[in-house]
Amino acid sequence: MKRNIAILGSTGSIGKQTLEIIKKNKKQFNVFLLSTNENIVEILKQVKVFRPKYIIITNKKKFEYLKKKEKKIKIFNNYDCFKKIFRKKIDYVMSSISGFEGLQPTIEIIKFTKLIAIANKESIICGWNLINYELKKNKTKFIPIDSEHFSIWSLCNNKFNQIDEIFITASGGPFLNTNKKILKSIKPKHAIKHPKWNMGKKISVDSATMVNKVFEIIEAKKIFNINIRKIKILSHPDSYVHAIVKFKNGLTKILIHDTDMKIPIFNSLFLNQTKSIFSHELNIKKLNNLNFKPISDKQFPSLKVIKLFSYNNNSLLETVLVSANDELVELFLNNKISFLGISEKLITILKLNEFKKLASKKPTNLAQIIQLNRYVRLKTRSLCVRSYDNV
Q: Rounded distance, CA 317 to CA 126, Å?
A: 8
Q: Rounded distance, CA 59 to CA 77, Å?
A: 7
Q: Is 72 a member of any domain? A: yes
CATH at residue 51? 3.40.50.720
Torsion, Cα of 51, 54, 59, 61 (10° steps): 80
Q: Is 129 a member of any domain? A: yes
Whole-number pLDDT of residue 382? 93
pLDDT tens for 204-261 read: 899 899 999 999 999 999 999 999 999 999 999 888 999 999 999 999 999 999 988 9
Whole-number pLDDT of residue 320? 97
82: CB partners within 8 A, 6+ apart: 105, 108, 109, 112
Q: Is 221 a member of any domain? A: no
Q: Is 272 a member of any domain? A: no
Q: Is 354 a member of any domain? A: no
pLDDT tens series, the chain, 391 aa: 899 999 999 999 999 999 999 999 999 999 999 999 999 999 999 999 999 999 999 999 999 988 888 778 899 999 999 999 999 999 999 999 988 999 999 999 999 999 999 999 999 999 999 999 999 999 999 999 999 999 999 999 889 999 999 999 998 877 787 777 777 778 888 888 776 666 778 888 998 999 999 999 999 999 999 999 999 999 998 889 999 999 999 999 999 999 889 999 999 999 878 888 888 899 999 889 888 999 888 889 999 999 999 888 899 999 999 999 999 999 999 999 999 999 999 999 999 999 999 999 999 999 999 999 999 999 999 998 765 444 3
The residues with which 170 forms a beta bridge, in sequence order, are: 235
The structure's pTM equals 0.92
Q: Is 99 a member of any domain? A: yes
Domain count, the chain: 1
Domain range holding 136?
Answer: 3-145
Whole-number pLDDT of residue 198? 66
H/E element, 208: helix 201-209
Starting at the edge strand found earlier in the chain, the sheet holding 74-76 runs 74-76, 54-57, 29-36, 3-8, 92-95, 115-118, 141-144
DSSP letter string, 43-108: HHHHHHHH--SEEEE-SHHHHHHHHHH--SSEEESSGGGHHHH-SS-BSEEEE---SGGGHHHHHH
Q: Is 294 a member of any domain? A: no
Q: Rounded distance, CA 363 to CA 368, Å?
A: 7
Whole-number pLDDT of residue 72? 80
Q: Is 101 a member of any domain? A: yes
Give CA 335 to chain center in angstroms: 25
Whole-number pLDDT of residue 31? 97
Whole-number pLDDT of residue 391? 38
The answer to whether 116 touches 110, Cβ cutoff 8 Å, is: yes
Pick the closest to residue 232 from 247, 214, 250, 207 (CA basis). 214
